[in-house]
Amino acid sequence: MILTVTPNTALDITYRVRSLRPHTAHRVTDVTERPGGKGLNVARVLAALGHEVTVTGFTGGVTGRALRDQLADTPGVVDALIPVEGATRRTIAVVDTTTGDATQLNEPGPEITPAEWSAFQEAYEVLLRSASAVALCGSLPPGVPVGAYAGLIRAARAAAVPVLLDTSGEPLRRGIAARPDIVKPNADELAELTGSHEPSRATQDARRRGARAIVASLGPLGLLALTPEGRWHATPPAREHGNPTGAGDSAVAGLLSGLVEQLPWPDRLTRAVALSAATVQAPAAGEFDRAAYEKLLARVSVTAA
């Protein structure tokens, strides 16, 4: 079983409009809702790839109930979310169907009490006993200690469970020092962490901070990976147009599934880039266009960097 942790779950709402213009009213042509937050998006992709997945984190309120109801209809995903008093947040993506650009609005999330955080930690350590790998994903809701991911990484390491970290800011800075197996920042997160906007130098700096492997997402330029086995740059055949929401989460699913399946690093990166590009073509976060994915697998370029 692969475990994904999403402290700040969300109900992802995607609106599609023909042309997004400030200061005007818009007629929405299509609306979709999905259980969201980075780790839930990762879980859906992992399940679609045939892996058994358990999700945990926090959920509460009317939005949380809607999220769990929809999650129950997701094949292959087991719900181990922790109920809280506060209301689960919503994230809203407005997609301009003419340009393919998306505008994202993210609510902060519920206030987590010390008792709720303690209950989560106890449940997490139990779940680790049957986990083959764990992904720690996304922002921390109010009330959760900023060093929370560092503690969760140490618990995973103590249980001999490989762990991937995908977050930003101070939680990333503290988490990477706990020595996760893989860290997957995007270019902006990597620059904020290291102070360098040059990806090659920044990945080296980030890895020295404690991670076993750094896989940096460079947007349409693909992934740059620095690992104990070598350095690679994986690129898609062309820039994809569509909704990029969830593309990074699909890359995480590709990396994590490749880790569990013990694939060589170039194969993991090929899968991650193909999934990410196929997600841009899908209508909602946490999904990917399977036909596009199958075609892209043969067209992703992976070169030594």
φ, ψ at 286 (rounded to 5°): 80, 10
147: how many CB neighbours lie within 10 A of its CB?
16
Q: Could you tell me how many residues make up the chain?
A: 305
**CA distance linking residue 54 with residue 128, whole number of Å:** 10
What positions carry a catalytic annotation?
A: 249
Calpha distance 44→104 (Å, rounded): 20
Beta strands in 116-235 (DSSP E): 133-137, 163-166, 182-183, 213-217, 223-227, 230-235
Alpha-carbon gap, residue 82 to 79, rounded angstroms: 9
End-to-end CA distance of the chain: 33
Cα–Cα distance for residue pair 230/215, rounded to 1 Å: 12
